[in-house]
């Protein structure tokens, strides 16, 4: 018995291999596309979270402003200058801040906030103030008056501001710079905090009203460590916060969030003391703000994915924020935007 057994010809094998190759290439392309979409979406989700965190981080700081009763900007000795804050609108590639120049991403704002305290000001007595130091007592006559001494990091005070408060309804305040080493001595609840101070560099001394310089010429009832934060977006698309301290340059920058493409801020100004915002200033000058009260702040943070997306162009409407120019940004990445409004304390004069 004979069987007629025939196999596949070479041409048939080549056709099958070619078809399988086409199918595999299609599957691999689909897998690659799916993988790239997944990476982009994950990056976009991270960007959204960073944008949200950045906006509320800045808003938290802004809402602390006002307790110093320092004007946001004022005319001192015939010169208009920024005081409790400063806004540089749409910086090019660098910006001059109170603590030196910083590199920024083009078209982003630079915001300085310094009329606030991370630790509540301390109660003090006029006899506790010396020519170059002040003693803050934890207790007085057996009663604790400064229970927040535990919140003070004495090793991180040098180079920061010291704010003396007198009769605030009469605008009595003075600003000094903390010098040397501060120390807490004694045991609770009878400890004392000793802080040395001097007139300091321009970023602190220029905050004094005309005719008042450390040591104050008025009776001091409270004293607080005055903070100064400057927010900006660096060329690596990282939101940075520069904080005054004893660093050689007078301040140290620390990252707040990554994948941030721009920061845009507008100040809400009350020009007639009716506690209502009369105008939003996206590109204010010290002269334009001096004489008015800044009672609101509108903060817009724009985030971008850390990679460009093939074939994508972000719509120009995404950048319709304050006075931002869409030509300043790379629209090949995907962007996310959040805008929040902070009501500043009404006693910020």
Q: Domains of the chain: which residue ranges?
A: 45-116+228-343, 122-226
Q: What is the pLDDT of residue 6?
A: 63
Q: What is the pLDDT of residue 247?
A: 67
Q: What is the pLDDT of residue 78?
A: 85
Q: Which two tokens stand for residue 34?
A: 């799916």
Q: Which two tokens stand for residue 80?
A: 């208009």
Q: Which two tokens stand for residue 71?
A: 């004007």
Q: What is the pLDDT of residue 125?
A: 87
Q: What is the pLDDT of residue 35?
A: 57
Q: What is the pLDDT of residue 30?
A: 66
All residue ranges of the chain with pLDDT < 50 are 347-349
Q: Which two tokens stand for residue 133?
A: 């130091």
Rounded to two decimals, the pTM is 0.86
Q: What is the pLDDT of residue 120?
A: 92
Report whether 184 contacts 192 (CB < 8 A).
yes
Q: What is the pLDDT of residue 349?
A: 42
Report whether 304 contacts 107 (CB < 8 A).
no
């Amino acid at each position: 018995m004979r069987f007629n057994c025939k196999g596949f010809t070479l041409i048939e094998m080549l056709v099958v291999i070619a078809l399988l190759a086409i199918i595999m290439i299609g599957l691999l392309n689909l897998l690659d596309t799916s993988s790239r979409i997944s990476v982009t979406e994950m990056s976009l989700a991270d960007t959204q979270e960073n944008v949200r965190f950045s906006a509320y981080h800045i808003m938290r700081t802004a809402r602390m402003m006002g307790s110093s009763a320092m004007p946001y900007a004022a005319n001192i000795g015939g010169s208009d200058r920024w005081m409790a804050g400063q806004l540089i609108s749409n910086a090019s590639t660098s910006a001059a801040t109170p603590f030196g120049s910083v590199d920024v991403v083009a078209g982003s704002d630079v915001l300085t906030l310094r009329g606030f305290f991370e630790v509540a000001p301390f109660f003090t007595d006029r006899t506790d103030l010396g020519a170059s130091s002040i003693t803050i007592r934890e207790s007085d006559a057996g009663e604790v008056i400064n229970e927040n001494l535990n919140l003070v990091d004495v090793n991180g005070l040098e180079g920061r501001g010291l704010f003396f408060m007198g009769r605030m309804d009469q605008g009595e305040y003075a600003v000094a710079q903390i010098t040397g080493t501060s120390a807490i001595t004694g045991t609770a609840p009878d400890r004392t905090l000793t802080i040395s101070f001097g007139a300091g560099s321009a970023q602190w001394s220029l905050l004094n009203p005309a005719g008042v310089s450390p040591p104050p010429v008025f009776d001091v009832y409270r004293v607080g460590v005055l903070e100064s934060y400057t927010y900006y977006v660096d060329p690596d698309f990282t939101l940075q916060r520069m904080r005054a301290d004893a660093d050689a340059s007078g301040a140290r920058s620390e990252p707040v969030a990554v994948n941030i493409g721009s920061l845009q801020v507008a100040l809400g100004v009350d020009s007639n003391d009716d506690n209502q915002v009369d105008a939003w200033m996206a590109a204010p000058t010290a002269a334009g703000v001096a004489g008015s009260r800044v009672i609101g702040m509108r903060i817009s943070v724009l985030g971008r994915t850390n990679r460009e997306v093939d074939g994508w162009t972000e719509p120009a409407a995404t950048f319709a924020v304050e006075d931002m120019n869409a030509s300043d940004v790379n629209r090949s990445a995907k962007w996310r935007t959040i805008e929040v409004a902070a009501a500043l304390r009404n006693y910020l004069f």
